[in-house]
């Protein structure tokens, strides 16, 4: 499950209309559905997806510089109880923090009405920390008494200030590192290289960069379990959701997510910001030189990949079409990584490491073919 901000008015309206019509126990009034769908076009809007299918959303109405309102929220009933509503509310809370708003409100059916579905809704809001303020019997109509609920948002100093706790971020990362080729030492090396590169890139935001470095491989376990999953994309979404729980502003958490999602050599998501480029370069330097050779051999052993494969002519194959091996990985990635760097400092470091890798590879092939 992923949550994305939707900015296209038509898409907002369509999602809102579709989800609300699938929830007749909560939204059975045609005029109300039409109004919600139309009003959502001009409001901040976040949608939850399950395998690219919208399963829930929330739209936010800004009342004034101090208060925002959960204008309408809906989650498809088969997806209730999966934490989607909680995450959408957390996004609303972070929206308030980002904009320096101290109060988040929501209107729902009051307990003077016996509706069992809205009884569960009120319980959910109470669990999320909302308090009942006042009942307005005629806000909607006489048959639907309106309860106004509110939650005070704990602001973190200046609204633009990150709540930085690198120890918490590091602890979260360490719990995910189960792969010896992508272990904590790999993370720390990438971090140290990135910090070195950043000294030569004065525009880099070191808080974003450090966080992205610490979290860039937390999606590795998902890719190991299913090779069709991109660890960079999954890791980026995981980092984004985690940082929101740490009260990070939405735009800063999204910046970290975008850095992580674009750091993969095999990916087609090109790094855009200087922080993303530095992370990409620092991670790719881990595929250069002696450390690149060593890590590739470790990973090859983990996936039962041989040193080399002989083709039909009994010659060591460099063609990935003949199967995966250390030799094919070297010729696909390790040999070509030196052309992929974005920053001058990374290119400088890579140039110093290149000969070590080339000498090892040439010696390996020579020895394997009895020419060395």
**What's 364's domain CATH number?**
1.10.3210.50
Last residue within a domain, chosen from 152, 183, 217: 152
* 356 occurs within a structural domain: yes
Predicted pLDDT of residue 262: 92
HEC-encoded secondary structure of 145-187: EEEEEEEECCCCCCCCCCCCCHHHHHHHHHCCCCCHHHCHHHH
Pick from 107-121, 186-200, 347-361 the range whose average pLDDT is largest: 107-121
| Closest by Cα among 198, 332, 350 to 276 | 198
C-alpha to C-alpha distances, 133 to 43, 105, 108, 154, 307, nearest whole angstrom: 24, 10, 12, 19, 69
Predicted pLDDT of residue 180: 67
Cα–Cα dist 156/165, whole Å: 13
Q: Is there a single domain that holds both residue 229 and residue 341?
A: yes
Q: Which residues pair with 70 in a beta bridge?
A: 60, 106
Q: Give the tens place of pLDDT for each residue, 58-103.
A: 999 999 999 999 999 999 999 999 999 999 998 898 888 778 889 9
Last residue within a domain, chosen from 102, 124, 152: 152
Least confident of 64-68, 130-134, 266-270, 305-309: 266-270
Structure tokens at 9: 């008015």
Q: Is there a single domain that holds both residue 9 and residue 148?
A: yes
| Closest by Cα among 163, 93, 149 to 121 | 149
| Closest by Cα among 174, 166, 176, 23 to 85 | 23
| 121, 108 contact by CB (below 8 A) | yes
Local structure of 5: helix, strand or coil: strand
* 140 occurs within a structural domain: yes
């Amino acid at each position: 499950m992923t949550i994305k901000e939707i900015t296209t008015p038509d898409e907002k309206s369509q999602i809102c209309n579709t989800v609300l019509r699938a929830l007749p126990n909560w939204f059975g009034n045609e005029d109300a559905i039409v109004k919600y769908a139309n009003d959502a076009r001009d409001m901040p809007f976040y949608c939850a997806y399950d395998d690219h299918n919208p399963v829930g959303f929330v739209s936010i109405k800004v009342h004034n510089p101090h208060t925002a309102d959960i204008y309408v929220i809906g989650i498809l009933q088969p997806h209730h109880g999966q934490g989607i509503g909680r995450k959408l509310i957390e996004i609303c809370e972070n929206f308030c923090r980002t904009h320096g708003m101290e109060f988040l409100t929501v209107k729902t059916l009051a307990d003077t009405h016996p509706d069992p579905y809205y009884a569960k809704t009120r319980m959910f809001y109470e669990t999320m920390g909302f308090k009942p303020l006042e009942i307005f019997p005629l806000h909607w109509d006489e048959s639907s008494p309106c309860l106004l609920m509110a939650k005070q948002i704990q602001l973190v100093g200046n609204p633009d200030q990150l709540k930085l706790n690198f120890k918490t971020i590091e602890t979260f990362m360490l719990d995910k590192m189960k792969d010896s080729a992508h272990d904590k030492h790999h993370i720390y090396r990438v971090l140290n290289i990135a910090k070195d590169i950043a000294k030569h890139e004065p525009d880099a935001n070191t808080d974003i960069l450090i966080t992205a470095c610490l979290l860039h491989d937390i999606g590795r376990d998902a890719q190991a379990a299913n090779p069709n999953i991109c660890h960079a994309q999954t890791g980026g979404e995981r980092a984004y959701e985690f940082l929101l729980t740490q009260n990070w502003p939405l735009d800063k958490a999204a910046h970290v997510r975008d850095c992580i999602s674009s750091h993969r050599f095999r990916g087609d998501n090109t790094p855009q910001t200087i922080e993303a480029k530095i992370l990409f370069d620092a991670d790719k330097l881990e595929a250069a030189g002696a450390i690149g050779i060593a890590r590739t051999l470790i990973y090859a052993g983990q996936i039962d990949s041989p040193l080399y494969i002989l083709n039909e002519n009994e010659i060591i194959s460099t063609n990935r079409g003949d199967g995966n091996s250390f030799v094919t990985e070297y010729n696909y990635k390790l040999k070509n990584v030196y052309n992929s760097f974005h920053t001058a400092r990374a290119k400088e470091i890579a140039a110093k490491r290149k000969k070590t890798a080339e000498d090892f590879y040439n010696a390996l092939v020579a020895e394997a073919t009895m020419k060395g």
